Amino acid sequence: MKEIKIITKNLSLFYGDKQALKNISLEIQDKKVTAFIGPSGCGKSTFLRVLNRMNDLIDNVKIEGEVSVDGVNIYDKNIDVVNLRKNIGMVFQKSNLFPKTIYENIVYGPKINGIKDKKTLDEIVEKTCIQSAIWNEVKDRLNDNALSLSGGQQQRLCIARALAVEPEIILMDEPASALDPISTAKIEELIHDLKQRYTIVIVTHNMQQAARVSDMTAFFYIGELIEFDRTTKIFTNPSIKQTEDYITGRFG
């Protein structure tokens, strides 16, 4: 039986008076890749940021409805947001490595969570770099500045950095949109490997990418969830006309 990891029910989000998300209800399954697609401005990235409460950092945002992870409503007022974000990793559109060494970038998360032992930290670095398929490229230059890496390497290092705090869920906000085709292929391969152990939610504007990497696909349009189904179904036989129009390139 498929396990559910995240449930949202009637979720709405407002920037001041403007409603950006309207009554979104969906279930995200454990250890699967779920893709959010849709034209720009449709709310898919905003929705992704609802899942680890990154929107809290913006003034004037109001959220209604329920978002539960493992049965816990994460918008309950006693929930520790910091702990939540630790357990839900996030990879951003543009690589946002700190201007520190490769090593320091990866151990940033573990260190702020109180791990001080050098040996443990070394192990974390090696383990996460191997998992994110970048170990061979960086193992001899861990003390170089992280910004000296290529764009694709930087993005995989961002994934390694996210893995270092041992999350169960990884949110990816258009992780390959700024990369060349070869680097993109490497990231997609990596996503495929990671789904054995992690629940992955990915926002992408590249429909082929969604079709290649995801198990489930959600189509968003102007703040609404239009259709949510198995990826194969969405891309071969969508049940709603708007989805079909978008998939076949008639708008967007």
Provide the binding-site residues for other proteins, judged by CB under 8 A.
Answer: 1-4, 7, 27, 52, 54, 57, 59, 68-72, 74, 78-87, 89-90, 92, 94, 96-99, 108-109, 112-113, 145, 147, 158, 161-162, 164-165, 168
For the CB of residue 203, give the shortest distance to other proteins in the complex, in Å. 14
- Answer yes or no: are the C-beta atoms of 168 and 90 closer than 8 Å: no
- Answer yes or no: are the C-beta atoms of 170 and 109 closer than 8 Å: no
The count of other CB atoms within 10 Å of the CB of residue 74 is 19
Residue 51 burial by Cβ neighbours in a 10 Å radius (0-12, 13-18, 19+): buried
Which residue, 55 or 243, has its beta carbon nearer to other proteins?
55
Which residue, 30 or 245, has its beta carbon nearer to other proteins?
30
For the CB of residue 155, give the shortest distance to other proteins in the complex, in Å. 12
Pairing of strands 18-29, 33-37: unpaired
For the CB of residue 136, give the shortest distance to other proteins in the complex, in Å. 24
For the CB of residue 4, give the shortest distance to other proteins in the complex, in Å. 5
- Answer yes or no: are the C-beta atoms of 181 and 170 closer than 8 Å: no
3-state secondary structure at position 230: strand
Which residue, 97 or 218, has its beta carbon nearer to other proteins?
97
The count of other CB atoms within 10 Å of the CB of residue 44 is 27
Which residue, 166 or 244, has its beta carbon nearer to other proteins?
166
For the CB of residue 89, give the shortest distance to other proteins in the complex, in Å. 7
For the CB of residue 164, give the shortest distance to other proteins in the complex, in Å. 8
CA atoms within 13 A on the CB side of 237: 3
Which residue, 105 or 209, has its beta carbon nearer to other proteins?
105
Q: Which of 86, 95, 58, 63 is nearest to 76 (CA)?
A: 63
